[in-house]
Structure 1
Amino acid sequence: MADLINILLRLALYVDLLLLFGVALFGLYSAKGTDAVLPFRPMLGGMALLGALLSVAGLVLMTSAMSGETQIAALWPHLQMMLLETDAGLAWTVRMIALIVAMIRPGLWLASIAGALALASLAWSGHGAMDNAWHLLSDVLHLLAAGAWLGAMLALVWMSRLDALFSAAHIGLLVNSVKRFEGVGAAIVLVLTATGLVNYLFIIGPKLGEVLLGTYGILLALKVLLFAGMLVLAALNRFHLGPLLERSLRDGQHQVAANALRRSVSVELGIALLIVGLVAWLGTLSPDPG
């Protein structure tokens, strides 16, 4: 039961911090005036608050599992030791400072920087932190690219709601945001692919067959398949649904195109959340099939 709670907490924290960074970053490069449709400040402030609460719960759960203590009085010395004497404690402290800054001043620039720091802190407790600086850097870049993708998907789903498209100006905002994401999305795919391969080589090495025999390998293969599915949907959005929405703006018939784009991006977002769930699970497993 404790393992399941740990996985669920990791999943919730990963999703929250990915979205905090990704939504803030989307606000920086998307079309000017996007804040008329997306309530950035309350969204980012709420994500930062939730991330802080999940971080506190995760620290308490991890310390309790390591020490065997469940009462707060007995657990307190272990929490102090965890915070002051371990790399995980340092990462947690940096994350909390970044999240508090984002809560107090949830502007786009500050939230994106704070979100990036908070998200990068997750890599300090992953496989990369146990290997070398290059693996850690690859993990950080992988997380940042994933956050940029996930945040953009949530923002585009929000912007393509029919109740948000009541004027030509708002439809134009969606069209321009989709076009601006095209270049960013291509860079995200390149970074995710490159860092994914690097991380695989660092964790497992140039081998495949025996790894797939274990739970870790099966989940990793499923993650790759889901990522391939996201690439197919991203290509559909890039080469068909985005241009279709742009043409519909000129024709004055945008509902069908906006619906199609929203459904596609919603599925893409759902797949991305499944991948994050697999990552949270993989973080608790060893790649050794034995």
Structure 2
Amino acid sequence: MSDSINIALRFALYLDLMLLFGLAAFGLYSLRGQERMSGAQLPFAPLLLATAVLGGLLSLAAMACMAWAMSGVTAWAELWPHIEMMVVETDLGMAWTLRMAALLLAGVAVTLNQRWPTTSLGLVALGGAVALATLAWAGHGAMDEGTRRNWHFITDFMHLWAAGGWVGALAAFALLLRQAEPQLAVLARTLIGFETAGAVIVVVISVTGVVNYLFIVGPSIVGVLDSHYGQLLALKLILFTAMLVFAALNRFHLSPLLENARRSGEHRVAVNALRRSMVLEFSVAVVILGLVAWLGTLSPGME
């Protein structure tokens, strides 16, 4: 039961912190000037504040769950000293404390959106990036030592940030398309503008994914599929390939279709097709995050 709770909390934290970082980052690299103000294009204030607060609550629950699993005690009075010890005396606790501070920064920065939208999103993205990076301390990299540990963490950071950028962009496009009459000029511009960012994200995810595999498993695939870890990893790769197919469809078919429809005035078909594509791609991304949360609790040799 504790394993299921741990996986569920890991999944919720991945999704929540990736949305916090990714949505704020999308506002910075895709929107311009006053478009970054909450409500102009996207409801940044309620979304980012909710994800920051939820991230803090999930982090509290994850720390309590970790202390419970390691100590075996159930009464809160007995559990509290174990939580205090983990927070103060372990690397995981230091990362947790840093995450809470980063989430506090993001939550405060959201309140500045109406007055200084660009600065606000910049601070939220910074806080979200730090908070997201701290999840690496609950992964396989924390089991390494020395220089190998440092490089593994750097690879994990880049992988998490790239994945967060992708998840946040998908959520942003879904929100833009959710409007009854989306502003087609902004939508078309951001879709085209995401081509470069999307290409960089895919390259970073692919390269860091391979490097992480080498850190965790090694330069071999022999026997990997005999473990639950290998089977889940194979499923993750299949779903990632499906996301690349959706991304290619958006890039080479649906985005040009929307641009042509915007010029002709008949945009309903193009917008509906984009909505379906974004919903499917975001759904696949959510399933992948669930697999990542599960994989983080396994080792390649576990049956």
TM-score by length of 2: 0.92
Shift of 1:75: 1.2
Secondary structure, aligned partner of 2:298: coil
Partners in 1 of 2:299 and 2:214 — Cα distance? Answer: 15
Which residue does the alignment assign to 1:25? 25
In the alignment, is residue 59 of structure 1 matched against residue 59 of structure 2? no
State the AA in 2 paired with 1:145: A
Partner residue in 2 for 1:253: 266
Residues 9-24 of structure 1: matches in 2 within 5 Å? 9-24=9-24
Whichever residue aligns with residue 82 of structure 1, its letter is M
Aligned to 1:234: 247
Task: Determine what percentage of the aligned residue pairs are the same residue.
Answer: 55
2:243 aligned counterpart, secondary structure: helix
Residue 226 of structure 1 deviates from its aligned partner by: 0.4
- Count of residues in Structure 1 that have an aligned counterpart in Structure 2: 286
Contact map agreement 2:28 2:36 (CA 8 A) in 1 = no
Aligned-residue offset at 1:53 = 0.2
How far 1:2 moved relative to its partner?
A: 1.4
Amino acid of the structure 1 residue aligned with 2:103: L
| Aligned-partner Cα distance in 2 for 1:287–1:258 | 43
Q: Deviations over 1:86-118 (max 9, x none)?
A: 000000000000101111222210110000000
Tell me the TM-score normalized by structure 1: 0.96
1: distance between equivalents of 2:72 and 2:198? Answer: 45
Question: What is the CA distance between 1:129 and its match in structure 2?
Answer: 2.1
- Contact (CA 8 Å) 1:34, 1:173: kept in 2 or not? no
Is residue 148–residue 188 contact of structure 1 (8 Å, CA) maintained in 2?
Answer: yes
Contact kept, 8 Å, 1:213 with 1:289, in 2: the verdict is no
* In the alignment, structure 1 residue 285 sits paired with structure 2 residue 302: no
> Given the alignment of the two structures, is residue 149 of structure 1 paired with residue 166 of structure 2, yes or no?
yes
Deviation of 1:48 (Å): 0.2
Q: CA deviation at 1:164?
A: 4.3
Q: 2:113 aligns to what?
A: none
Question: Which residue in 1 is equivalent to 2:89?
Answer: 85
- Say whether residues 1:48 and 2:65 are aligned partners: no
8 A Cα contact 2:141 2:153, kept in partner? yes
Q: CA deviation at 1:207?
A: 1.2
Tell which deviates more after alignment, 262-271 or 125-134.
125-134
CA deviation after TM superposition for structure 1 residue 8, in Å: 0.7
Moved over 6 A (4+): none
Q: Which amino acid aligns with 1:85?
A: E
Answer whether contact 1:210 1:289 (CA < 8 A) is retained.
no
Amino acid corresponding to residue 188 of structure 1 in structure 2 = I
CA positional deviation for 1:82: 0.3
Distance 2:97 2:201 in 1: 28
Question: Is the CA contact 2:109–2:121 (under 8 Å) kept in the aligned structure 1?
Answer: no
Aligned: 1:94 with 2:111:
no
Aligned AA (1:57): A
Q: Extract unaligned runs of 5+ from structure 2.
A: 111-119
Residue 34 of structure 1: CA displacement? 5.5
Contact 1:37–1:164 under 8 Å retained in 2: no
Query: Which amino acid in 2 is paired with 1:175?
Result: A
Q: CA deviation at 1:135?
A: 0.9
Q: Offset of 1:209 from its aligned partner? A: 2.5
- 1:211 deviation in Å? 1.1
Mapped partners of 2:230, 2:224: distance in 1: 5
Cα shift at 1:251 = 0.5
Match of 2:180, SS state, is: helix
Query: Per-residue displacement from partner, 1:53-90 (whole Å, max 9, x unpaired)?
Result: 00000000110110111111111111111011000000
Q: CA RMSD in A?
A: 1.1
Could you tell me how far 1:162 is from its partner in structure 2?
4.3
Give matches, 1:1-290, under 5 Å.
1-32=1-32, 33=35, 35=37, 36-106=40-110, 107-131=120-144, 132-165=149-182, 170-289=183-302
Assess if the C-alpha contact under 8 Å between 2:21 and 2:132 holds in 1: yes
Q: Aligned equivalents of 2:161 and 2:36: distance in 1? A: 22
SS in 1 for 2:87: helix
